[in-house]
Amino acid sequence: MTSPPPSGTHDIYIESTATDPAVQARSALHQIHQRLRCRLVTLTEVDPPAEAEEAVRAALASFCTDDLRRYLSACDRTLYATASGAAETRLLVRALRTTAAVLDEYVDQVSKAGDATAATSTARAIDATLRPHFAVERTVLLPALTRLPGADLPALMADLDTLLNGGVLTETPIVDVREIPHGRRHPRIFTRFARLTPGESFTLINNHDPKPLHREFEATHPGAYTWEYVESGPDRWQIRIGRLPSQA
């Protein structure tokens, strides 16, 4: 069955084959998951002599605070951010972010562990949590994004790869959604917001007062955003949307 191309592309592909962006995305994400878990399991299976225990503890702390935390942040800024802007996937993202917060707490415990035994024990808890977490990302989140209007899955995976490799996402300071179909606007706007650093903002241009969007921001990011009308109709609205500094 030939499927229509996702938003932002003009390619023809055959659904559920190697040319299908959903299949490619799932394969790419599976490889990332395997690489992370393989490294984690390798470090937790080490039974070092006493003189090497500190090196093992340090290696676990480095992997968790660098590689794993980078993945959690990159995934949140790309896949989660897009899905959080749509009503049908908002609860799924909330659940994934809850698990990610648990993983982040485990990472803190590993980095503060006083010896290799404590670090290894917590790292095993991380692996036990990652298995179902990764499975949901691949088998639930990605298919949901494939069906979500406005979600460009190949572009999202490319952005994820950029962040995992230490790159920076280049973003325009203006998001003009007037020519975008209504069902595709909110995912794009929430994705842009997720990529803001504390204190940054962008300007949204719309052809109506986006009050429903404002309600969604209040529901999903209470106390974390700013909303300032720059222009209020009658034919064009401009709103400056920002992320509050973390100390606010």
Tens-place pLDDT, residues 59-114: 999 999 999 999 999 999 899 988 887 778 889 999 999 999 999 999 999 999 99
Burial 141-168 (b: 16+ CB within 10 A, else e): bbebbbebbbbbbbbbbebbeebbeeee
pTM for the model: 0.73
For every residue of 153-215, DSSP letters joined together read HHHHHHHHHHHHTT------SEEE-TTS-HHHHHHHHHHHHHTPPTT-EEEEEESS--HHHHH
Q: Which residue has the tokens 């404002």?
A: 214
Spatial CA neighbour of 133 closest among 183, 192, 182, 71: 71
More confident position, 162 or 21: 162
Eight-state DSSP code of residue 222: T
Q: Which residue has the tokens 């949590």?
A: 129
What is the percentage of the chain residues whose pLDDT exceeds 90? 57
Fold of 171-243: Translation Initiation Factor IF3 (3.30.110)
Is there a contact between 144 and 64 (Cβ–Cβ < 8 Å)? no
Query: Per this entry, what is the length of the chain?
Result: 248
Q: Where are the domains of the chain?
A: 2-163, 171-243
| Long-range contact set of residues 210-213: C-beta below 8 Å, sequence gap at least 24 | 210/237, 210/239, 213/185, 213/186, 213/189
Q: Report the mean per-residue pLDDT for the chain.
A: 87
Q: What is the pLDDT of residues 204-224, one digit of tens each?
A: 999 999 999 999 888 878 888
Return the ∠ at Cα 95 (arms to 43 and 91), rounded to 5°.
155
Tell me how far apart the alpha carbons of residues 193 and 85 are, in angstroms, rounded to a whole number. Answer: 10
100 burial class (0-12, 13-18, 19+ CB within 10 angstroms)? buried
Looking only at the bridges linking them, the beta strands covering 237-243 and 225-232 are: antiparallel
Eight-state DSSP code of residue 51: G
pLDDT at 16: 56
* Of 32-36, 86-90, 115-119, 244-248, minimum mean pLDDT range: 244-248
